Structures are given as structure tokens and as C-alpha cells.
Amino acid sequence: MKVIDILKQNDITISFEVFPPKKQEGMEGVLEAAGAIAALKPAFMSVTYGAGGSTSRLTTEVAASLYEKNRVTVLPHLTCVGETRATIHEHLEELRASGLDNVMALRGDLPKDGRQNKDYEHAVDLIRDIRSYDKEICIGAACYPEGHVESASRSEDLKYLKEKVDAGVDFLTTQMFFDNDLFYRFLWQIREIGITVPVLPGIMPITNARQLGRSVELSGTHVPERFLAIVDRFGGNPDAMKQAGIVYAAAQIIDLIANDVRHIHVYSMNKPEVAAGILANLSELLK
């Protein structure tokens, strides 16, 4: 099923993300974790992609297995950094052959040496190509409530986001954020410039202090004082930090739902117990 149809047909949806193993040897463990997350009956599951094609085959394998064995709608990611038109088309054919109707179209992070294949420079080029190659596939794309780290200004980032959506995007998912007010302001700004597609906030439950450092370094996301205090106080106690991280993410989701944001994506990172913990905190809200 297409993600956009799920969003249209349901009042509130919670979806989860998993990532493929780095090597084939890790596949069994990933499929077990992903299967346990699928058993929680999310609206759909996304599967990330290693930019540069390092895990592309493994992304398709996880996505196809989730679809076949767990009967869950799957959103495989696809990045165009380092890919050619031919490899992207091949990949789209593989997704379709596995019965998948969705793709998350991304540029991917630039390689450290700055070398990039010339077939696609930005995600918008990939989206235009996917849309002309496959008119029916449901396309998701990324957006950044606090601006993308490479952008010279927020307004420039918004201009390119509008271009990307106009190229054929059905829905957007945001980068993680820890302060919902930043998301509300972003929503207001994009509606003002005529972006009308659904926007799924991406919520990252932080379950250990190291994960916070890595995530913030990559994304430049603002960490509010109230969350820093939690990490300061509980960062040295893994069980306490995990519980606090789950509750903080659940509280973000409760606030989003209270403010009429109906579709939420959770970066569950192959951790079924974290996904289950989030849902346990929302059980009455989702009835």
C-alpha cells in the first residue's frame, strides 16, 4: 500500500524506522529486531539506505522481507550520491519486483572526498527522475525544521524544499528535533510558501548519552536545556537513561498529537523495546 494512502485513511499513525546490517552476516539479527517492531503494528516501516550504495542490496532485502513475512507497508530509502541513472533504475525495478509501492528519495551525505556522481546533484534531481520513470510510486523526501547543515540560510533551504516537493513528492519526513516549537514554526513557514503535502515529524528516542552526541554532531539539532539536564543526570545510568529517553520522546509525541499533528515517524533504530516503550506511553491516546 502507498504511504500517502495510509496517511489519508487514518486519523493518527505511528510509523517506525529500522536500518539494514552493514554486512550480510548481520542480517538475521536485523530481521529479528525489525520483525519484532513490525509485530507492534506500526502504520508502516521505513528502512534506511547506506549512502554511496554500501548497503543498497541489504536495504532491499530487509524491506522485501518485512513486506513478505510481516505484511507491513514498507518505505525503503534510496540515496543518489554515488549512483548512476542506470543503478537507480535497476534499484527501482528491484523494489517494484518485491511488491513495494514506496520510496524515500534522498541525496545522502556527501562523501568526504567531495566526489559525487554527476547524474544527480540534489535530491530534486532524483525525485524528477523517479517520477518520470515510475508515475505511480509514492515518493517521500526529507526536510529540516532547523535548516539543513549545508544551507547558507533557512529561506534558501525552504526555496529548495518547495522545488523538491513540486518535483513530485507525496509526503515529507523531518530530521529529528527535540523542541516541538521549532517544528510548529517550520510547519507554518512551509504552508506559507505553498507546501501542502503531509509532513511527518521524525522523533528520535535518545536512549544513551553517546547517541545524543553523535546525532547532534551530524544534524546540528538544538538540544533544549530540559533535555540536557536529563542526559546530565541519567546519562551514566543506562537503564534510567533509556527510560527517560523513551518518556521524553513519548511526551514530544503527545504534545504533537495535542496540537493536531496526526502522523508521526519514530526513529526506532532496530530497538523493539524502545518502540514498544513509546507505544505503551501512548496506549490510551491511540485507542
Ligand X SMILES: Cc1cc2nc3c(=O)[nH]c(=O)nc-3n(C[C@H](O)[C@H](O)[C@H](O)COP(=O)(O)OP(=O)(O)OC[C@H]3O[C@@H](n4cnc5c(N)ncnc54)[C@H](O)[C@@H]3O)c2cc1C
Per the structure block, which three cell numbers stand in for 105?
528519495
Binding to ligand X by CB under 6 A, coded x per residue (else -) over 178-217, reads ------------------------x---------------
Rg (CA), the chain: 18
Binder among 106, 137, 264, 279 for ligand X (CB under 6 A): 106
Least separation in angstroms between residue 117's CB and ligand X is 14
Least separation in angstroms between residue 148's CB and ligand X is 4
Note whether 263 binds ligand X by CB under 6 A: no
Considering the complex, state which of residue 42 and residue 108 has its C-beta at the smaller distance from ligand X: 108
Considering the complex, state which of residue 158 and residue 230 has its C-beta at the smaller distance from ligand X: 158
Considering the complex, state which of residue 5 and residue 150 has its C-beta at the smaller distance from ligand X: 150
Q: Determine the Cα–Cα distance for residues 47 and 21; give it in Å rounded to an integer.
A: 11
Q: Kindly indicate which of the ranges 116-124, 235-243, 248-256, 275-283 contains the residues binding ligand X, using the contact rule CB under 6 A.
A: 116-124
Quick check: is 17 catalytic?
Answer: yes
Q: Determine the Cα–Cα distance for residues 232 and 236; give it in Å rounded to an integer.
A: 8
Q: Kindly indicate which of the ranges 66-74, 105-113, 252-260, 279-287 contains the residues binding ligand X, using the contact rule CB under 6 A.
A: 105-113
222 neighbors 179 (Cβ within 8 angstroms):
yes
Question: Which residues, listed in sequence order, are joined to residue 47 by a DSSP beta bridge?
Answer: 18, 76
List all residues 6 or more positions away from 278 whose beta carbon is below 8 Å from its beta carbon.
14, 205, 246, 249, 250, 253, 266, 268
Q: Determine the Cα–Cα distance for residues 249 and 240; give it in Å rounded to an integer.
A: 14
Least separation in angstroms between residue 18's CB and ligand X is 11
- Determine which one of 17, 61, 83, 94 is catalytic: 17
Note whether 122 binds ligand X by CB under 6 A: yes
List all residues 6 or more positions away from 245 whose beta carbon is below 8 Å from its beta carbon.
205, 206, 207, 208, 230, 274
Residues numbered 127 to 186 that lie near ligand X (CB under 6 A) are: 142, 148, 150-151, 157, 160, 164, 173, 175
Q: Kindly indicate which of the ranges 32-40, 47-55, 93-101, 190-198 contains the residues binding ligand X, using the contact rule CB under 6 A.
A: 47-55
Residue 24 per-residue DSSP state: G
Q: Which long-range contacts (CB under 8 A, 24 or more apart) does 228-236 make?
A: 231/206, 235/208, 235/209, 236/209
Q: Kindly indicate which of the ranges 118-126, 131-139, 254-262, 268-276 contains the residues binding ligand X, using the contact rule CB under 6 A.
A: 118-126
Q: Determine the Cα–Cα distance for residues 262 and 260; give it in Å rounded to an integer.
A: 6
Note whether 77 binds ligand X by CB under 6 A: yes
Binder among 60, 79, 102, 215 for ligand X (CB under 6 A): 79
Q: Determine the Cα–Cα distance for residues 146 and 187; give it in Å rounded to an integer.
A: 11
Interacting residue ranges for ligand X, rule: CB under 6 A? 48-49, 51, 77, 79, 106-109, 122-124, 142, 148, 150-151, 157, 160, 164, 173, 175, 202
Instruction: Please give the positions annotated as active site.
Output: 17
